[in-house]
Every structure is written in structure tokens, then in C-alpha cells.
């Protein structure tokens, strides 16, 4: 049982319990929250964890792509918990986020077993994965709202989209079950496909279901929004890959990929355009992530192995820029009441490290070379150009929109101080180490994205996507 996904579920839950018990000891809680998921990731690196784990009457097991996805998610979560320790005093973040992480691990472990829809029963639906993911997503409401009086709009929209997708996915599972019994019923196949695409669009925050992204990014504590935009959204992307790969009805149908590509194009373009129009760094972060989701979908929608690899690069490399930008915003929050350009004026002189994190993270999210985000976008751009020149132009425009939005904010961040007597805040060595570490990783993966290639190659090979 130890070589099953058990450590990935049990260790975060154990950490959640310990952080509640040790809530008075901030440093100890933070270290437990950071170390136990990192330990789980380490166990998953060393052992394949591919034995089945009996849970609630069915076996959970990890495939190669899900194993790598979870390792990455857990390492990102560990880094986020360290960031929370340096920027927030709220102990409640750890247990709830850790429980959400365990639930997401269960969701990825409870993926559908190869679904032979055409070949009749046995049909193993994905309803466990959907329910575990929904529980994880709803749990993140608590750190997202963060106890701020009156601030509920973004979180409420997020909750609405996450919950509405649940019946849609479960209805799709039911229709697929019926289809497996009468494979000639084309209307059932069409209904299931439409329902699955609708559910995917809701969970991935694809246009027009993106309204929560900017709300959450501007209202919520920055590292909480990073958890949702980086970890929950990334898990939703992997669930989508599992569904598309596992259900032949989807991966055999080129129209599905055309729809995903079109949705991605619209999302990337709107994300870029809206990022340009903002006067708030939090909102820019939200729209930059929206554009990034669109780019990943465009690459995936090319329906090729290379396109899938490019999409995986985009999704993986997003986390560096997102982490860095949210860390910068979280530090800036101690100086400013909100994320607006005006509130963050002269940040470079008041909190230089926060400004560095914010600006470099934003440029990485926008896909500016030589940062990590560029490597992902470059691959996606090449794939899009191979199939449609207009699509690649749209992706370039989307990046330009985000860069222009960040440059508008940069004028404020670099504005000289009105009062020359103000001294810059001295960050603690650990905070500087975290920011420098993220910066170095951001540049290293931007210059040498091939470091991720062996992992991504294995993941792409395990998915049944290409025709």
C-alpha cells in the first residue's frame, strides 16, 4: 500500500492536522506545511506509486503523467507555503490548502480507467475524480477570501463556476454510460461531448467563464490566488488531459480539438486585451493567467504530440512567473492598501525586492525572453504557426497586451519617491532567498527549458491524444 498514492493523500492530511494543533507556532506550522508535501513529492520521485489504493470502494492509482503532475503540484504548494509564512500571519491557510491538495491528489488518482465507450461495458466513469476535485476547489474558498470584510465578489463567482460544473460532468458520465450500452445512439455521443467540453470550459476558466479570474486575483491575498490560479487550475488542466485521453469519444473526434483551439484563441486574445486595459497589478496577473490558459489550449488543440508537449511546457512554466509575481504582490501589500498602480507608486524605492518579484514575474507570465514563460509560449507559438498563421499572430498579440499592461504599471513602480527621507524596507534574508531562488529558476528554465523535456516527453507519450 505504501507504493500506492497513499503518501500523496495521507501526508498533506497529516500536515493539515499538525498545523491545526501547532497553530500558535507560526514557523513550525509553516515548516510542516512546506516539508510534508515536499516529502510526498520526493517519495513520488523515488517510487512510481503505481500500485492501486483501495479507497471508498474503488482503486485509485497513478499513471505516469499524473504522477509527474502531482510531484510538480506538491513542489509548487511547498514553495507557496513558505511564501505564505513570510507574508501572512493567518494560520488557517495551511490546513485548508493542505486538505485541498490531498483532495486534488485523490481526484487525479481517481482518473477514469481506459474507457472503452465504443466497445461496451465495463464503463468506469470519472465521477469520483469530479467530486474529489470539486471538494478541493470549494475548500480553497477559505484561503481565497482570507477573512477580508465585505470582499466576496471574486470568490463567489469562482465558487459558482466550480460548483455548476459538477452536475455537468456527472451528467456527462451518465450519458456516456448510456452510450456504452447503445453505441449507435449518435445523439448520446454528441450530448456527452458537449457536456464534457462545457464542464472543461467552466473549470479551466475559459472565455466566457473567466469572470472570476480577475476578481480573485485582485481581491484575494496574492498567494491564495496563486494557489488557485497555479495549482487548482493546473490540476483542472491535467483532469482535462485525463478525460480527453481516456475517453475515445473525445480523442477520436477532431471537432473537439478544433473547439478547444478556438476557445483557446479567444481566451488568449481577450486575456491579453484585458490585461492591457487594467490599472491594477492583481487584475493584470489574473488576465495574464487567462491568456496563458488560452495559449495552452491552442497548443493542445493542434491535436499533435508536439502540441501536447508545448501545452505541458506552458502549464508547467506558468508557475514560476505566477509564484514570483504573487510573492512580490504579497510583500507589496504590507506597504499598500491594494494592487492599483497608484497604490504601488514608487514601490521600487520603498520595497525593491517586492518590485523585482512583481515585475519579473509579470514579464515571465507575459512570455518575455529570457524568462520561463517565454520558453512555454515559444513552443506553443511554433505549434500554432504550423497549423494556422492567424492563430500564432493572435498569440503574439496576447503576449503584447500583457507586456503593455505591465509596462504601464512599471511607470508607477519606478516613479521616484516624493519624500526623500523614506528608507527602503529591509527584507529578511529568507524572503530575499525565496525571491532570488524563484528568480534564478525563472531564468534557468527560460534559458534551458529542455531541463523539463524528459519529464514532458514521458507525459506526452502516456496520453492518447494524437490521431
Partner 1 sequence: MTNVDIAKTIAGLPGAAVLIGLLIAAALLVILVNWRLLIVALALQYILIGLMLTRVVPIELAAVKALVGIMICPVLYITARRVNWGRPEEEAEEDKAAERPQRRWWHILGAGWPVRVIVAVLALAISTGLASRNPLPIVTDLTLSRDLTTGAFSVILLGLINAALAENPLKVGIGLLSVLAGFELLYTAVEPTLTIVGLLGLTNLILALAIAYLTTAWASRRSEVPE
Comparing CB distances to partner 1, the nearer of 182 and 423 is 182
Counting residues that bind partner 1 (by CB under 8 A) gives 31
For residue 110, the minimal CB distance to partner 1 (Å) is: 10
User: Which of 80, 87, 155, 398: binder of partner 1 (CB under 8 A)?
Assistant: 155
- Looking at the Cβ atoms of 225 and 364, the one nearer to partner 1 is 225
121 lies in the binding site for partner 1 (CB under 8 A): no
127 lies in the site for partner 1, by CB under 8 A? yes
Using the rule CB under 8 A, which residue among 51, 64, 152, 343 binds partner 1?
152
Residue 41 within binding range of partner 1, rule CB under 8 A: no
Options 157-165, 201-209, 245-253, 400-408: segment touching partner 1 (CB under 8 A): 157-165
211 lies in the binding site for partner 1 (CB under 8 A): no
Query: Kindly report the CA angle at 306 between 303 and 312, in degrees rounded to 5?
Result: 90
Among 105, 170, 189, 314, binds partner 1 (CB under 8 A): 170
* Contact range with partner 1 by CB under 8 A, out of 78-86, 139-147, 195-203, 305-313: 139-147
Nearer to partner 1, 47 or 174 (CB): 174
Question: If binding is defined by CB under 8 A, does position 142 make contact with partner 1?
Answer: yes
Site for partner 1 (CB under 8 A): which residue of 167, 208, 369, 390?
A: 167
Residue 1 in contact with partner 1, rule: CB under 8 A: no
3-state secondary structure the chain: CCCCCHHHHHHHHHHHHHHHHCCCCHHHHHHHHHHHHHHHHHHHHHCCCCCCEEECCEEECCCHHHHHHHHHHHHHHHHHHHHHHHHCCCCCHHHHHHHHHHHHHHHHHCCCCCECCCCCCCCCCCHHHHHHHHHHHHHCHHHHHCCCCCCCHHHHHHHHHHHHHHHHHHHHHHHHHHHHHCCCCHHHHHHHHHHHHHHHHHHHCCCCCCHHHHHHHHHCCHHHHHHHHHHHHHHHHHHHHHHHHHEHHHHCCHHHHHHHHHHHHHHHHHHHHHHHHCCEHHHHHHHHHHHHHHHHHHHHCCCCHHHHHHHHHHHHHHHHHHHHHHHHHHHHHCCCCCCECCCCCCHHHHCHHHHHHHHHHHHHHHCCCCCHHHHHHHHHHHHHHHHCHHHHHHHHHHHHHHHHHHHHHHHHHCCCCCCCCCCCCCCCHHHHHHHHHHHHHHHHHHHCHHHHHHHHHHHHHHCCCCC
Length of the chain equals 467
CA-wise closest residue to 366 among 264, 261, 451, 289: 289
Binding mask 53-72 for partner 1 (x = CB under 8 A): ---xxx--------------
Nearest approach, Cβ of 452 to partner 1 (angstroms)?
34
Q: Which residues contact 448 (CB under 8 A, 6 or more apart)?
A: none
Among 64, 160, 211, 387, binds partner 1 (CB under 8 A): 160
141 binds partner 1 (CB under 8 A): yes
45 near partner 1, rule: CB under 8 A: no
Q: Which stretch binds partner 1 (CB under 8 A): 52-60, 294-302, 339-347, 431-439?
A: 52-60
Does position 174 interact with partner 1 (CB under 8 A)? The reply is: yes
Q: Which three cell numbers stand for residue 48?
A: 512510481
Mark the segment that binds partner 1 (CB under 8 A) among 156-164, 190-198, 261-269, 289-297.
156-164
163 binds partner 1 (CB under 8 A): yes
Residue 420 binds partner 1 (CB under 8 A): no
Closest distance to partner 1 from the beta carbon of 167 (Å)? 4
Give the shortest CB-109-to-partner 1 separation in angstroms.
14
**CB under 8 A: which stretch of 79-87, 161-169, 362-370, 407-415 binds partner 1?**
161-169
Q: Which residues pair with 53 in a beta bridge?
A: 60
Among 32, 104, 139, 434, binds partner 1 (CB under 8 A): 139
Q: Which residues bind partner 1 (CB under 8 A)?
A: 56-58, 127-128, 131-132, 134-135, 138-139, 141-142, 145, 147-152, 155-156, 159-160, 163-164, 166-167, 170-171, 174
Amino acid at each position: 500500500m505504501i507504493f500506492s498514492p497513499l503518501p500523496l493523500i495521507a501526508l498533506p492530511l497529516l500536515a493539515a492536522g499538525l498545523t491545526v494543533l501547532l497553530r500558535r507556532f507560526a514557523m513550525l506550522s509553516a515548516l510542516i506545511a512546506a516539508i510534508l508535501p515536499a516529502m510526498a513529492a520526493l517519495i513520488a520521485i523515488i517510487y512510481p506509486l503505481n500500485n492501486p489504493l483501495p479507497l471508498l470502494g474503488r482503486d485509485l492509482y497513478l499513471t505516469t503523467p499524473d504522477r509527474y503532475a502531482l510531484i510538480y503540484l506538491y513542489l509548487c504548494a511547498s514553495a507557496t507555503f513558505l511564501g505564505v509564512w513570510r507574508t501572512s500571519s493567518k494560520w488557517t491557510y495551511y490546513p485548508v490548502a493542505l486538505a485541498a491538495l490531498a483532495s486534488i491528489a485523490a481526484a487525479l488518482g481517481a482518473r477514469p480507467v481506459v474507457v472503452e465507450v465504443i466497445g461496451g461495458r465495463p464503463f468506469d466513469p470519472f465521477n469520483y475524480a469530479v467530486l474529489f476535485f470539486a471538494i478541493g476547489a470549494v475548500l480553497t474558498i477559505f484561503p481565497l477570501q482570507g477573512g477580508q470584510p465585505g470582499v466576496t465578489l471574486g470568490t463567489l463567482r469562482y465558487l459558482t463556476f466550480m460548483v455548476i460544473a459538477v452536475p455537468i460532468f456527472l451528467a456527462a458520465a451518465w450519458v456516456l454510460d448510456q452510450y456504452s450500452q447503445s453505441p449507435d445512439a449518435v445523439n448520446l455521443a454528441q450530448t456527452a461531448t458537449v457536456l464534457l467540453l462545457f464542464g472543461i470550459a467552466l473549470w479551466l476558466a475559459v472565455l466566457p467563464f473567466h469572470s472570476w479570474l480577475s476578481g480573485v486575483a485582485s481581491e484575494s491575498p496574492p498567494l491564495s490566488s496563486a494557489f488557485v490560479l497555479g495549482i487548482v487550475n493546473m490540476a483542472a488542466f491535467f483532469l482535462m488531459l485525463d478525460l480527453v485521453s481516456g475517453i475515445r469519444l473525445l480523442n477520436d473526434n477532431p471537432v473537439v480539438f478544433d473547439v478547444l483551439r478556438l476557445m483557446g484563441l479567444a481566451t488568449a486574445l481577450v486575456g491579453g486585451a484585458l490585461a492591457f486595459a487594467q490599472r491594477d497589478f492583481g487584475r493584470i496577473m489574473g488576465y495574464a493567467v487567462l491568456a496563458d490558459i488560452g495559449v495552452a489550449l491552442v497548443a493542445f488543440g493542434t491535436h499533435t504530440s508536439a502540441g501536447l508537449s508545448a501545452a505541458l511546457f506552458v502549464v508547467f512554466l506558468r508557475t514560476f512567473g505566477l509564484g514570483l509575481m504573487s510573492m512580490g504582490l504579497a510583500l507589496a501589500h504590507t506597504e499598500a492598501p491594494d494592487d492599483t498602480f497608484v497604490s504601488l507608486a514608487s514601490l521600487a524605492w520603498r520595497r525593491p525586492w517586492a518590485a523585482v518579484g512583481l515585475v519579473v514575474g509579470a514579464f515571465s507570465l507575459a512570455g518575455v525572453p529570457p524568462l520561463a514563460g517565454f520558453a512555454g509560449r515559444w513552443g506553443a507559438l511554433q505549434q500554432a504557426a504550423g497549423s494556422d498563421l492567424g492563430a500564432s499572430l493572435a498569440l503574439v498579440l496576447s503576449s503584447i497586451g500583457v507586456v503593455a499592461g505591465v509596462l504601464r504599471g512599471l511607470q508607477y513602480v519606478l516613479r521616484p519617491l516624493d519624500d526623500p527621507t523614506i528608507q527602503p524596507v529591509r527584507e529578511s534574508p529568507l524572503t530575499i532567498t525565496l525571491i532570488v531562488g524563484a528568480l534564478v529558476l525563472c531564468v534557468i528554465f527560460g534559458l534551458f527549458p529542455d531541463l523539463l523535456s524528459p519529464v514532458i516527453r514521458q507525459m506526452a507519450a502516456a496520453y492518447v491524444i494524437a490521431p
